Structure 1
Amino acid sequence: MSVQKPFDERSLEKGSEKGRLPSDTIVEAAHPADDRFHFDERDLDQVQRRLKQRHVQMIAIAGTIGTGLFLGSGKALQRAGPLGALLAYIFIGSIAYATLCSVGEMTSFAPISGSFPHYAARWVDPALGFALGWNYFYTQAMTIPVEVTAAQIILTFWDDNPQHVAIYTAVISVCICLINLFGVRWFGESEFFFSFIKLALISLLIITGLVIDLGGGPDHDRIGFRYWKNPGALNTFLVDSPKSTGRFLALIGVLIQAAFSFQGMELVAIAASETENPRRNIAKAVRRVFYRILFFYILGILITGMVIPYNDPALLSDSNNAAQSPYVIAMTRAGIKGLPHVVNAGVFTSAFSAGNSFLFCASRVLYGLALRGQAPSIFARCTKAGLPWISVLFCSSFAFLSFMNVNSGSANVFNWFVNLTTVGGLIAWCGINSAYLGFWRGLRAQGYDRKTFIYYSSLQPYLSIWGIFWTSLIVLINGFDVFFDFTAAGFLTAYLNIPLFVILLFGWKFWKRTKMWHPTQMDFTTGIPSVEETESPEIPPTTIKGKIFEAIF
């Protein structure tokens, strides 16, 4: 059933003598070298661990805060009302937390390139890993030009000259590509900087919103929960009568929108193979995510619903810049001047940061697929510094699809392709939790004690089951509104991604004749670096500055 042999090949740590295990170390692999599955100790991960603790923790704290929260929260409020939006964000936050706990535990166990697509291939079925990997790559790659376009539109708050659109688009695209081509260290530093701005901005907005609500604005109008009573705590969507049906549909609609605002939390796991002390840092990041969701998302949406009514005409604006932010609307109503410009600058950096992150994710997932034979091998090539440069260059080309928005005709085609990606993130979440269930079953069958791991969740496997059920359901109902005003284009953009995923799954399964792994046959050792290889001794801080740094990061 199993094969025992010395691990005498180079490890995942390129160019490091520490990357070699002692010659008498025995690695028990359920499957010997097999060209069909590429779970071979000779799979050489060439990226290098250059992301530091502060980079990872800052990315984990603010990685998902972006235009979806700053601008999208207004649309959520307008659709479902303050209570409906709050309930939707709490519910989706629980699914996001379950998903991150799942991917966090797998990543702290195996901090290698490929992330959750490889985990699915390794512990569920190689076909599932192939389908998840290409689905996630496409979703991330197509979202790059979306964020470039969003950043360009945000600039219209200051400059709405249509002749400058192409120039702004080009500058933003080139800057995002250069940051990623300079290497992961530059990516880490840029995201640290952008995350700091996002944290400062959302904290400023929450505090300002609370001050306005309590009557501290120039107009000294104490709002309290006035707007929860008039126009009300819940709005209707699609149908006004009966109200219960309209409110239910509004809540469903905001569930889908909130899910997109939370997506991207898995970035910290995808970066694990390029992170110093990945097991310790990933564990710390996952443990803190609950408080991040509670403070930035839940408190943020609560304050939003307190300072502006859901029927405010400004919420219907499609400007996509700071003028659409519910906080800016509240500031304008309260007579606060100047802050809208600060908000717009912060939202711009958020859009830029999102494009930067999506490019990183797309290139690393493509690299992971190539590393294990599920994508052309050319994408696995790295520089001596550990940069998968061909993958980065290929993914960078997607940024320039944003030029399609310069022309109104091609913009329609661009938007059609972009809409196909909307369900991709939810499929990824479902795949992450499915991979974890396989991981959990295999560990249990082979006698591993999860409590000995650097990170584990005592709520598993129930968290993963929760995530699988609800993400599957949301994927199926994501286009429910198209049935109230049916169009072929609307139906295709809502549901075409599902058959595409199924084709990827069963196409690879039939071509490679893959099978689902039995729990006793799952491989938990081959190609996975030991704790000694990845983790340096933890030195407790002794100075006040060091203790503050440790508490924050």
Structure 2
Amino acid sequence: MDPTYSDGNSAEKDSGVNEKTTTVPQVNSIYDSERGSVVDVKVDVHTNIKDGLQRQMHQRHVQMIALAGTLGTGLFLSSGKAIIHAGPAGALIAYILVGTVVWSMIQSLAEMMCYAPIAGGYIHYAERFLHPSAGFALGWMQWYSAVISLPTEIISAAVIIGFWDTDPISGDIPRSHMIGYITALLILCSAINYFGARWFGEAEFVFAIIKILLIMGLIIAGLVVDLGGGPDHDRIGFRYWKNPGAFAAYPVEGSVGKFTGWFTSLLQAAFSFGGVETLAMTAAEVQNPRANMKKAARLLFYRILFFYVCGILIVGMLVPSNDPHLLNSTGNGAASSPFVIAFNRAGIKVLPSIINAGILTSAFSAADSVLYSASRMLYGLSLRGQAPRIFSTTLKNGLPIASLVLSTLFILLAYMTLSDGAQTVLNWLSNLTSIATFICWGTICITFLRYKAGCEAHGIDRKTSFFYNKWQPWPAYWAIFWCIINVLFNGYQVFIHGMWSTSDFIIAYINIPIVAALFLGHWLWTGRKKFPKGSEIDMYSNIPGPEIDFDPNPPTTKIAKFFRWLL
């Protein structure tokens, strides 16, 4: 007999899929007809704190948030660095490899998301399935990384605006104008988040559409130019793969330099893909979460694979790795975009402003997403007793107000850019987070292995879950391997003769002792708990039952059903 929801509908009818759900306990829930969603009434059994988040986001929000977290300035601006360091073929291989790591990580994360669509996302999973101290260390590392990168994103957006407003003599943005841009951006970014999850979802939906249209237009225009459709009618083809070559050497010459250049581009590719894991932070605030998270996870990789792999391929065909404009780019604004450089080479002069507007949207969207995820990370930590209880405070509409207020304060660090010395400190702090993405991805996959062990020990058939990958655990092992390689060797350059830099060494490896110190400190403080056996892993408490798995607003027309399928 199918389980019955609060509105009287059955699981098979309303879940949107024909699969059975994982066996999880029923929890009390209330259907709010005015809001059109299930309000989860749940109190954490360990901390006795009520989870006040509400499911206000729709399927289309989740799909576009997944894209907005990965499709941004990393591709539009910084992909040129990968071409410089590795050459067109090396950069393409690097992006494909990191894409497989991302896919493997998503396969691991998606199964846990669909089993437990709860507050805290992957931080909560690490605390529950791996070890409480692992969740504590991962959570605080990710929150720190988020709030430090937040002002950097605001600064990037302000500098991009300066593309249209620079002093004709100095070439810099007037100081008073910079103050105004930063102020306007931080107010707008904060406002979107303070309006609540629904408005955040709507904003990201619009931003993502703009970015998707932009990258699709750039790929098509780039292909036309490459085939000789530009004003100069020069058919380029794969000319630059032959001269200066498919692979570039960095930072040393020869075959060794080509390998190290390719390895360096892996870190750049990871930066471009970074943020996809934040999809898990929305699991507690989306309607019909298991079906929607499943769809987002299955479609996300293929969409990003098209945008990123095709994007880096087109750039590598249009711009040689030794192009002086690429080598001298500052990394800010449309002038630094490899796409703009490519179109300028072809004689197309009307695109920079259009591309700059799209890049501005990307930078602002990144800041918006970072603030959202940072506040939910801190809220999730508090909910599980790993941060002060005040940060689990929510308003009546489910907004985690205390966590959001604290996270928002870090936006003010953006004003440090107005001082040269403070700007140096801010850049240094931001660089400390450069390898955090690989630490996070690796921890997610290790957590999945313990989740898998818990399912086996408790007799839970993973094949009946909303999301199941028959190849597991091999994808998890693959991602863990590459994450370890990149964490251990990302600072290889300082060990090359004559290239030692104490600051570069610290930036490359400081996250390792920080995470270790967080783990050990929490482990000692909480009584030196052992890693739980599979049978000891908590697979049931505070996990929503099937009563949340229904669509409160199902499409009724063919057009609506088509867009529901598309988005």
SS in 2 for 1:230: helix
Are 2:50 and 1:44 aligned? Answer: yes
- C-alpha separation in 2, matches of 1:43 and 1:380: 8
User: Do the aligned partners of 1:12 and 1:528 also contact (CA within 8 Å) in 2?
Assistant: no
- C-alpha separation in 2, matches of 1:7 and 1:85: 47
The code of the aligned residue for 1:54 comes to R
Deviation track 1:493-519 (CA, whole Å, cap 9, x = no partner) reads 111111000000111011102221110
**Alignment correspondent of 1:3:** none
- C-alpha separation in 2, matches of 1:382 and 1:19: 14
User: Do the aligned partners of 1:12 and 1:44 also contact (CA within 8 Å) in 2?
Assistant: no
**Alignment correspondent of 1:401:** 413
The code of the aligned residue for 1:204 comes to G
- C-alpha separation in 1, matches of 2:31 and 2:159: 42
SS in 2 for 1:228: helix
Moved more, 378-387 or 170-179: 170-179
**Alignment correspondent of 2:473:** 461
Moved more, 109-118 or 284-293: 284-293
SS in 2 for 1:266: helix
The code of the aligned residue for 1:98 comes to S
Within-5 A mapping of 1:4-15: none
**Alignment correspondent of 2:437:** 425
The code of the aligned residue for 1:106 comes to M
**Alignment correspondent of 2:16:** none
The code of the aligned residue for 2:561 comes to K
- Which runs of no fewer than 5 residues in structure 2 stay unpaired? 1-23, 167-172
**Alignment correspondent of 1:28:** none
**Alignment correspondent of 1:532:** 547
Moved more, 406-415 or 362-371: 406-415
**Alignment correspondent of 2:559:** 545
Displacement of 1:18 in angstroms is 7.1
Distance 1:8 1:520, change over 3 A: closer
Deviation track 1:404-442 (CA, whole Å, cap 9, x = no partner) reads 111101111111111111111211111111111100111
Q: Choose which of 190, 196, 206 in structure 2 pairs with 1:193.
A: 206
Scaled by the length of structure 2, what TM-score is found?
A: 0.90
Are 2:277 and 1:283 aligned? Answer: no
SS in 1 for 2:276: coil
Deviation track 1:118-137 (CA, whole Å, cap 9, x = no partner) reads 11111111000100110111
- C-alpha separation in 2, matches of 1:203 and 1:8: 44
Within-5 A mapping of 1:204-215: 204-215=217-228
**Alignment correspondent of 1:371:** 383
Are 2:103 and 1:97 aligned? Answer: yes
Deviation track 1:231-253 (CA, whole Å, cap 9, x = no partner) reads 1100000111xx11010010110
Deviation track 1:339-398 (CA, whole Å, cap 9, x = no partner) reads 111000000010000000000010000000001110001110000000001111110111
Within-5 A mapping of 1:231-250: 231-240=244-253, 243-250=254-261
The number of residues matched between the two structures is: 530
Are 2:216 and 1:203 aligned? Answer: yes
User: Do the aligned partners of 1:12 and 1:529 also contact (CA within 8 Å) in 2?
Assistant: no
The code of the aligned residue for 1:103 comes to L
User: Do the aligned partners of 2:117 and 2:543 also contact (CA within 8 Å) in 1?
Assistant: yes
Displacement of 1:452 in angstroms is 0.7
Moved more, 525-534 or 357-366: 525-534
The code of the aligned residue for 1:128 comes to A
User: Do the aligned partners of 1:13 and 1:48 also contact (CA within 8 Å) in 2?
Assistant: no
- C-alpha separation in 1, matches of 2:39 and 2:94: 48
**Alignment correspondent of 1:227:** 240
Are 2:91 and 1:80 aligned? Answer: no
User: Do the aligned partners of 2:287 and 2:548 also contact (CA within 8 Å) in 1?
Assistant: no
SS in 1 for 2:433: coil
- C-alpha separation in 2, matches of 1:17 and 1:288: 26
SS in 1 for 2:539: coil
**Alignment correspondent of 1:448:** 460
- C-alpha separation in 1, matches of 2:319 and 2:124: 45
**Alignment correspondent of 1:507:** 521
- C-alpha separation in 2, matches of 1:84 and 1:344: 27
The code of the aligned residue for 2:468 comes to Y
Displacement of 1:100 in angstroms is 1.3
The code of the aligned residue for 2:314 comes to I
Displacement of 1:547 in angstroms is 3.4
- C-alpha separation in 2, matches of 1:12 and 1:400: 39
Distance 1:84 1:40, change over 3 A: same
- The alignment yields a C-alpha RMSD, in angstroms, of 2.1
- Which runs of no fewer than 5 residues in structure 1 stay unpaired? 1-5, 22-32
- C-alpha separation in 1, matches of 2:383 and 2:91: 42
User: Do the aligned partners of 2:41 and 2:51 also contact (CA within 8 Å) in 1?
Assistant: no
Deviation track 1:267-325 (CA, whole Å, cap 9, x = no partner) reads 22111100011100000011112311320111111111011111101112115111111
**Alignment correspondent of 1:146:** 152
Moved more, 162-171 or 178-187: 162-171
**Alignment correspondent of 1:489:** 503
Displacement of 1:186 in angstroms is 1.1
Displacement of 1:477 in angstroms is 1.0
Are 2:528 and 1:517 aligned? Answer: no
Within-5 A mapping of 1:154-173: 154-160=160-166, 161-163=173-175, 164-173=177-186
User: Do the aligned partners of 1:7 and 1:41 also contact (CA within 8 Å) in 2?
Assistant: no
Q: Choose which of 275, 278, 290 in structure 2 pairs with 1:267.
A: 278
SS in 1 for 2:247: coil
Q: Choose which of 482, 500, 520 in structure 2 pairs with 1:470.
A: 482
User: Do the aligned partners of 1:64 and 1:265 also contact (CA within 8 Å) in 2?
Assistant: yes
Within-5 A mapping of 1:281-320: 281-316=292-327, 317-320=329-332
Distance 1:105 1:341, change over 3 A: same
Within-5 A mapping of 1:6-25: 19=40
**Alignment correspondent of 2:9:** none
Displacement of 1:337 in angstroms is 2.2
Displacement of 1:17 in angstroms is 8.4
Are 2:74 and 1:68 aligned? Answer: yes
The code of the aligned residue for 1:169 comes to I
Displacement of 1:19 in angstroms is 4.5
User: Do the aligned partners of 2:52 and 2:394 also contact (CA within 8 Å) in 1?
Assistant: yes
User: Do the aligned partners of 1:9 and 1:41 also contact (CA within 8 Å) in 2?
Assistant: no
Displacement of 1:469 in angstroms is 1.4
Displacement of 1:61 in angstroms is 3.2
- C-alpha separation in 2, matches of 1:473 and 1:12: 47
Deviation track 1:48-105 (CA, whole Å, cap 9, x = no partner) reads 0011111111112343111001111111111110000000000001111111111111
- C-alpha separation in 1, matches of 2:31 and 2:526: 29
The code of the aligned residue for 1:281 comes to N
The code of the aligned residue for 1:352 comes to F
The code of the aligned residue for 1:46 comes to G
Are 2:426 and 1:414 aligned? Answer: yes
Q: Choose which of 256, 259, 263 in structure 2 pairs with 1:252.
A: 263
Scaled by the length of structure 1, what TM-score is found?
A: 0.92
The code of the aligned residue for 1:119 comes to Y
- C-alpha separation in 2, matches of 1:489 and 1:520: 45
- C-alpha separation in 2, matches of 1:89 and 1:64: 13
Displacement of 1:546 in angstroms is 2.0
User: Do the aligned partners of 1:45 and 1:112 also contact (CA within 8 Å) in 2?
Assistant: no
Distance 1:131 1:500, change over 3 A: same
User: Do the aligned partners of 1:362 and 1:395 also contact (CA within 8 Å) in 2?
Assistant: yes
Displacement of 1:43 in angstroms is 3.9
Are 2:443 and 1:437 aligned? Answer: no
- C-alpha separation in 2, matches of 1:180 and 1:18: 20
Distance 1:64 1:13, change over 3 A: farther
User: Do the aligned partners of 1:235 and 1:250 also contact (CA within 8 Å) in 2?
Assistant: yes
Are 2:393 and 1:381 aligned? Answer: yes
- C-alpha separation in 1, matches of 2:476 and 2:407: 31
SS in 1 for 2:471: coil
The code of the aligned residue for 1:333 comes to R
